[in-house]
Structure 1
């Protein structure tokens, strides 16, 4: 296998494949390094992605990879990238097996790693009945008894947003409320209950939540929950190369998916709104911009 490329893409899910497709069609010599651990693995169906609405996420990725593999200038390496180094000519990437690859440009499509809170049953329901995005999953749980696990500004945002999909809403702050007086008043005026008692566990059946059990023993029937747990970048390489993170913890990019480091680009969940459609879009932009930048260097 070749070790030198024009572009290395780290991450071979939706964003990475989209970038690879644009670059393959631009006749670029590309390597996609993928560890096979997309962050939406627990999710049974993907939605709000035109032509693929309701399709299993892994099936979308499989179709994408099959299509990208038809371009003979694009190669794949199944493995984990663990180190990146800036060189005079570009970059080197080291994999977990100790293999070194080099390129002129880097695209990170590495996604995020969700940090599950210490609530029994949460992880088992995550991506199934504990969801983060109404645009991705809200239609499937519309008009159901729905909970929100959040506090402060995030809780206020969720409460107003989710009220579009259901009026049977309960906000669980999982401890003392951090909402302002005005926020609390507006939420209550919209018929949304606020529960401050900490959560002990989520009762569920194969990941389908049934009840929220509180530490005082009270159990509330709930069919779906919105929550946005903390996360970290799935790869530490961008930061090690000098890429900056924004206040949300995402890789800072401009409108062309360019990071603060020359020659390094980022796309997908690591730098934008979490959505398959957005990942594909940002990956396409990254691929097109990288090709444009490579042309500009020699023309």
Structure 2
């Protein structure tokens, strides 16, 4: 059975396009910009074509095209106009829309086609910051509003991970820029690794020695790394685990079992860092509220 979501509410369109449901209704009534379908009980709903149209119209509207003008243009001309506009103006918003559409329809080919259209125009780093991070930020909102399911998030995250892994493979593996070893890991039961994978990419591309351990690593395994390397900086990304209630006890355990010498350091990223108490910190622990705040320092060092 094909269970791909192909029916959308007006609230789904709002969440995916950024255009308020009230505005969409006005556009429908005044300009017939969309033609909603109706259930037997007269509840409006929209198909994939409507979603694609509203995403394209959102792009053109953001570049100054009036809805009254767009309403008069044939459906098959709208995508051509988008392509022409994006030839001379920013691609980012439309690219994110295409990635969202690929996610909603589990469309690997659309994702790859959109990515390939970017790679000749932007560096991978630019693609990640300009397109993937905004997409991932939106996914959080879409998931919370029940517009998407965890399956959608897993699908698009896996495709981004593939690109990250491919780009990381191209980097030299024998780096040792500052004499430290950067060990990247996720805590036990944490599986959200995209951010950590990108930090690993940034470290390696800037000439630092990075060892990537991946998801759900127990503290005992982290401590064991000190038997193999000196001058370690551990890097972790905490999104959902440890939980808010347990994160401070987790930091305390790291201080006792891992950060118990004068040279081992810890850098912590992720949403749950906001719940780490200042009293839990020490001089060898640093919190970051964004990847960019850290990776920009790498490029400054390289200048």
Give the TM-score category using the shorter length: under 0.3
TM-score (norm 2): 0.23
Higher relative contact order (CA 8 A, sep 6+): 1
**Greater percentage in helix:** 2
**Greater percentage in strand:** 1
Structure with higher Rg: it is 2
